[in-house]
Chain A
Amino acid sequence: MIKPALRDEILLKIEKPVRYLGNEVNMVKKDPTNVDIRFAMCFPDLYEIGMSHLGIQIIYDMLNRRDDIYCERVYSPGLDLDKILREENIPLFSLETQEPVKNFDFLGITLQYEMCYTNVLQILELSQIPLLAKDRDDDMPIVIGGGPCVYNPEPVADFFDIFYIGEGETRYYQMMDLYKKCKSEGLGRKEILKKIAEEIPGMYVPALYEVTYNEDGTISSFEPIYDTVPSKVKKEIEWNMSDTFYPEKPLVPFIKATQDRVVLEIQRGCIRGCRFCQAGMIYRPVRERNVEFLKKLAVSMLESTGHEEISLSSLSSSDYSQLKELVYFLIDEVRTKGVNISLPSLRIDAFSLDVMSKVQDIKKSSLTFAPEAGSQRLRNVINKGLTEEIILNGAAEAFRGGWNKVKLYFMLGLPTETEEDMEEIAILSDKIARLYYDTVPKEERHGKAQITASTSFFIPKPFTPFQWARMYDKEDYIGKARVVNAKMKSMLNHKSLKYNWHEADVTVLEGVMARGDRRVSKVILEAYRLGCMFDAWSESFSNDKWMQAFENTGISIDFYNKRERDLDEILPWDFIDAGVTKEFLKREWKRALEEKVTPNCRAACANCGLKPLGGAICNER
């Protein structure tokens, strides 16, 4: 057995020592002296969060299938261990071999949400790797970023050597081969990075690009330094979702992870085209996995892990064409073996109600709708196809079936939003409550209706039709939530309604990180210097420190958040070819302002730009 990197005394002192020991079921064991490449894969948050992420498990499995590579894992140490590692100068280590990350060839960091950026710096610093890419010498690992946030990597560009733009399944092998070749030729870090940028599609090496700015602070030019380096980096797409990497033996953590279950990704991408949704744009086109492939995977993953639960994952799962077949298979084949089936949120209809009644306790479970906007007008603006009629019909059917809890999700701060739109959130919630009392006779009710409406604040994201939209101040956001809250209180059925809203501090920051340029890295670095870490956790988030960091660096929040960007402005992420064309996004932005809906990919193609690449759904007709 491998000796832990930490002494017994430390392991006994810290919270959940198992986070740092590895040795989980299905962990890959190799002799590190027998491989050519050592790759540390990192999710920059606590183990329990990171272990729940499917993407990392896919890459872990994929890289470890090769004998010449050993992929290991690393997560953010909790604040207790963080302190000890700093005090005792213990370098951050991988879970598998418990060896320092700084001795690896690569450190891959997945960027799933913007609020993990200070944790990236924590990982680098604890690993004893220079925070700025330009300060790293040939002995340091190559730090490579991936995940959805790399669709605008600029705010963290200074900290990374490479960003892998797109889906992880396609280019890692090729990159590893090139790296080996470069190493055998004795090339140094700079040459290797340049070669990767030149030869491997999807790889963005920020140091090889130069940005200049106009006097008003907008970008004036964004160009590669060498003409051998592509000026546009094309996102990578895995086209064959049914013959590709998928971990049949996922890792099984000892401690309860957020996803303590088998996760089955049934499809990637989404046909819907909601205009606020980045995932719906960057994962285009929709690609379904073959149902037989999924059945086999489900069975083998349950066998290899012993998990007692399986969940289906995708955007808009109701659109998966083989959903019925898959779900009934799971109910008939695996539920009998004591396995729970955790359903994704489904369109409410006869099928989903039947399935829900089979796998959940109706008395405890709730219906979920995500209308995202209160009024039909605003739902047209955001292209959310859910109408009031669909919601009310679905709810009525569910109420008759015995449900009495409904969860509703909305966004505040959407483009063109008026006070009426906000109030409609309360009106719709009230209508649903009233529907319950109208539909279910008194003697058949299980208590009163429980309608919970939650709002988050909208953050415009790159590569969406709303990428040009403005945001608001913290006070404005709170004001919007107050409008909804007041209206809720004034409704007839207010006793059956509950309203939750999110904090606005984080929204403002996320806005800056989501659409910032390279200059924003200064704020992140300064915030980290001031002690910011684990910003995604409300108990460790400090808005004051962040505000101090903006002040110290002279960076303006308003510049990034409160401008409606000009359609001709060079956006920091324009160098990425994400598949969807800028023409399409502009067209959609215009249609949004005209309150026109655009049909989904299955109903009609909106020519977003993916068709020429050969997606199945795009070329069906």
Chain B
Amino acid sequence: MRDKIRVKFEKTGMMKFIGHLDVMRYFQKAIRRANIDIAYSEGFSPHQKMSFAAPLGIGLVGMGEYFDIEVYSIQGSSEDMKNALNNTMVDGFKVVSLRKLPENVPNAMSSVYAADYTVTIHGDNIKLSPKELSEKIIAFYNQDTIITEKETKKSTRMLDIKPLIYSLTSVDGVTKMCLSTGSTDNIKPELVMQKFCETYLGIEYTEDPILFDYQRDEVYTNVAKEGEAMKLVTLEDMGEVIEG
């Protein structure tokens, strides 16, 4: 068995405009620059064994993004490898932690269950006091159902997203939410804010002008057993620090 390493990174500033595929390409090259002993597939054009957690949309800042890699060998401690990577980062990308995954921990992609987001008003594009915003958000979240239209390839279907919003609060103008994330029931914060605008602010949701800035703070997996209540653990905490 080859060792698996989980890397947590930030994507900030203007790097929020880089799409997911390019982020992957960026880290593939960064890993080579940092001399991490990553494992390759066989064949004429070998590729790195690497798996990203949940793609982040263009325009969103990420403070808790993840990918896993397989390595032939571990060179140094978590701290050493993190530093090696950070020495080759450009402004806007930063590795915040690097951990070894115990055997049989599922890979980043398949473990994603939920994510935290922070949403703020872009400039003063919506004129609303923090207090009003807070009250309206509470009222919005207190509804029994929040029905949205979800477009699929063939049709638009109605979906109640209330059960998929695990939390939603707004304090001092900063709105925070925890949303269902992953391959099934993936909810984007834009969808929540769009519904909120339309139903509680009575304004049309637009991207030009931009109304809100979005940031993903953390990504979680659910470690609850069958039948138990949801128990969220960050992807980072599934790994173990490699001591020097």
- Residues of A with Cβ closer than 8 Å to B? 1-4, 8-9, 11-13, 17-18, 21, 23-25, 27, 252, 254-256, 302-308, 337-338, 340, 359-361, 364
Binary flags per residue of B144-170, CB closer than 8 Å to A gives 1, else 0: 000000000000000000000000000
Q: In the complex, A31 Cα to B197 Cα: how many Å?
A: 43
Known: A1-B13, A18-B18, A254-B18. A8 touches B59 (CB 8 A): yes
Q: In the complex, A511 Cα to B210 Cα: how many Å?
A: 48
A308 touches B32 (CB 8 A): yes
Q: In the complex, A617 Cα to B19 Cα: how many Å?
A: 50
Give the residues in chain A near B122, CB-CB below 8 Å: 8
Q: Which residue of B lies closest to A11 (CB)?
A: B17
Q: Can you report 6 residue pairs joining A to B where beta carbons are below 8 Å apart?
A: A1-B91, A18-B18, A21-B17, A306-B28, A308-B29, A340-B44
Is B229 located at the chain interface by the 8 A CB criterion? no
- Residue from A4, A304, A338, A340 in contact with B14 in the complex, judged by beta carbons closer than 8 Å: A4
Q: Which residue of A lies closest to B13 (CB)?
A: A1
B210 touches A306 (CB 8 A): no
CB distance from B215 to the nearest CB of A (A): 13
Q: Which residue of A lies closest to B208 (CB)?
A: A9
B91 touches A23 (CB 8 A): yes
Is B2 located at the chain interface by the 8 A CB criterion? no
A359 touches B22 (CB 8 A): no
Give the residues in chain A near B45, CB-CB below 8 Å: 340
Q: Which residue of B lies closest to A19 (CB)?
A: B17
Give the residues in chain A near B90, CB-CB below 8 Å: 23-25, 27
B29 touches A252 (CB 8 A): yes
Number of A-B contacts (CB under 8 A): 83
Query: Which among A1, A8, A252, A255 has the greatest number of chain B C-beta atoms within 10 A?
Result: A8
A23 touches B92 (CB 8 A): yes
B88 touches A25 (CB 8 A): yes
Give the residues in chain B near A308, CB-CB below 8 Å: 28-29, 32
Give the residues in chain B near A304, CB-CB below 8 Å: 33
A21 touches B29 (CB 8 A): no
Is B40 located at the chain interface by the 8 A CB criterion? yes
A338 touches B17 (CB 8 A): no
Is B31 located at the chain interface by the 8 A CB criterion? yes
- Residue from A307, A359, A361 in contact with B29 in the complex, judged by beta carbons closer than 8 Å: A307
- Residue from A2, A18, A338 in contact with B22 in the complex, judged by beta carbons closer than 8 Å: A18
Q: In the complex, A608 Cα to B88 Cα: how many Å?
A: 49
Q: In the complex, A24 Cα to B14 Cα: how many Å?
A: 11
CB distance from A620 to the nearest CB of B (A): 40
Query: Which among B14, B19, B122 has the greatest number of chain A C-beta atoms within 10 A?
Result: B14
Give the residues in chain A near B28, CB-CB below 8 Å: 306, 308
Give the residues in chain B near A11, CB-CB below 8 Å: 14, 17, 59
Is B30 located at the chain interface by the 8 A CB criterion? yes
Known: A306-B29, A338-B46. A21 touches B14 (CB 8 A): yes
Q: In the complex, A303 Cα to B87 Cα: how many Å?
A: 13
Q: In the complex, A359 Cα to B43 Cα: how many Å?
A: 10
B207 touches A9 (CB 8 A): yes
**Chain B interface, number of residues (Cβ within 8 angstroms):** 32
B46 touches A254 (CB 8 A): no
Known: A8-B59, A11-B17, A254-B22. 10 other contacts (CB 8 A): A12-B210, A13-B207, A18-B19, A25-B26, A25-B88, A27-B90, A254-B18, A255-B22, A305-B33, A306-B30
Closest 10 CB pairs of A and B: A306-B29, A306-B32, A306-B33, A17-B17, A1-B13, A9-B208, A361-B44, A1-B91, A254-B22, A338-B40
B210 touches A8 (CB 8 A): yes
CB distance from B109 to the nearest CB of A (A): 22
CB distance from A403 to the nearest CB of B (A): 14
CB distance from A159 to the nearest CB of B (A): 32
Give the residues in chain B near A364, CB-CB below 8 Å: 44
Is B225 located at the chain interface by the 8 A CB criterion? no
B44 touches A1 (CB 8 A): no
Give the residues in chain B near A23, CB-CB below 8 Å: 14-15, 90-92
Give the residues in chain A near B44, CB-CB below 8 Å: 340, 359-361, 364
Give the residues in chain B near A1, CB-CB below 8 Å: 13-14, 91-92
Is B231 located at the chain interface by the 8 A CB criterion? no
- Residue from B48, B58, B210 in contact with A338 in the complex, judged by beta carbons closer than 8 Å: B48
Query: Which among A3, A9, A302, A306 has the greatest number of chain B C-beta atoms within 10 A?
Result: A306
Is B127 located at the chain interface by the 8 A CB criterion? no
Query: Which among B25, B31, B48, B207 has the greatest number of chain A C-beta atoms within 10 A?
Result: B25
Q: In the complex, A21 Cα to B15 Cα: how many Å?
A: 9
- Residue from A13, A255, A303, A359 in contact with B33 in the complex, judged by beta carbons closer than 8 Å: A303
Give the residues in chain B near A338, CB-CB below 8 Å: 32, 40, 46, 48
Interface residues of B in 181-218 (CB under 8 A from A): 207-210
CB distance from B60 to the nearest CB of A (A): 11
Give the residues in chain A near B33, CB-CB below 8 Å: 25, 303-306
Give the residues in chain A near B46, CB-CB below 8 Å: 338
Query: Which among A23, A24, A302, A305 has the greatest number of chain B C-beta atoms within 10 A?
Result: A23
Q: In the complex, A440 Cα to B19 Cα: how many Å?
A: 48
Q: In the complex, A445 Cα to B44 Cα: how many Å?
A: 21
Q: In the complex, A305 Cα to B25 Cα: how many Å?
A: 12
- Residue from A18, A305, A306, A360 in contact with B17 in the complex, judged by beta carbons closer than 8 Å: A18
Give the residues in chain B near A12, CB-CB below 8 Å: 17, 58-59, 207-208, 210
CB distance from B85 to the nearest CB of A (A): 11
Binary flags per residue of B41-57, CB closer than 8 Å to A gives 1, else 0: 00111101000000000
CB distance from B45 to the nearest CB of A (A): 6
CB distance from A299 to the nearest CB of B (A): 13
B29 touches A9 (CB 8 A): no
B210 touches A9 (CB 8 A): yes
Query: Which among B30, B46, B48 has the greatest number of chain A C-beta atoms within 10 A?
Result: B46
Give the residues in chain A near B15, CB-CB below 8 Å: 23
Query: Which among B33, B40, B43 has the greatest number of chain A C-beta atoms within 10 A?
Result: B33
Q: In the complex, A454 Cα to B105 Cα: how many Å?
A: 53
Q: In the complex, A180 Cα to B207 Cα: how many Å?
A: 47
CB distance from B148 to the nearest CB of A (A): 22
Q: In the complex, A23 Cα to B207 Cα: how many Å?
A: 25
Q: Which residue of A lies closest to B23 (CB)?
A: A254
Q: In the complex, A305 Cα to B88 Cα: how many Å?
A: 9
Q: In the complex, A23 Cα to B208 Cα: how many Å?
A: 25
Q: In the complex, A25 Cα to B91 Cα: how many Å?
A: 9
Query: Which among B17, B33, B45 has the greatest number of chain A C-beta atoms within 10 A?
Result: B17
Q: In the complex, A4 Cα to B59 Cα: how many Å?
A: 13
CB distance from B44 to the nearest CB of A (A): 4
Q: In the complex, A303 Cα to B44 Cα: how many Å?
A: 21
Q: In the complex, A432 Cα to B67 Cα: how many Å?
A: 50
B59 touches A306 (CB 8 A): no
Q: In the complex, A305 Cα to B33 Cα: how many Å?
A: 7
Q: In the complex, A255 Cα to B30 Cα: how many Å?
A: 14
A306 touches B14 (CB 8 A): no
Q: In the complex, A205 Cα to B88 Cα: how many Å?
A: 43
CB distance from B41 to the nearest CB of A (A): 9
Q: In the complex, A3 Cα to B14 Cα: how many Å?
A: 8
CB distance from B114 to the nearest CB of A (A): 26
Q: In the complex, A379 Cα to B184 Cα: how many Å?
A: 63
Known: A21-B17, A23-B91, A361-B44. A306 touches B208 (CB 8 A): no
B25 touches A254 (CB 8 A): yes
CB distance from A20 to the nearest CB of B (A): 9
Binary flags per residue of B112-131, CB closer than 8 Å to A gives 1, else 0: 00000000001000000000
CB distance from B40 to the nearest CB of A (A): 5
Q: In the complex, A481 Cα to B123 Cα: how many Å?
A: 61
CB distance from B210 to the nearest CB of A (A): 5
Q: In the complex, A254 Cα to B15 Cα: how many Å?
A: 10
Interface residues of B in 4-23 (CB under 8 A from A): 13-15, 17-19, 22
Q: Which residue of B lies closest to A25 (CB)?
A: B90
Q: Which residue of A lies closest to B46 (CB)?
A: A338
Q: In the complex, A435 Cα to B45 Cα: how many Å?
A: 30
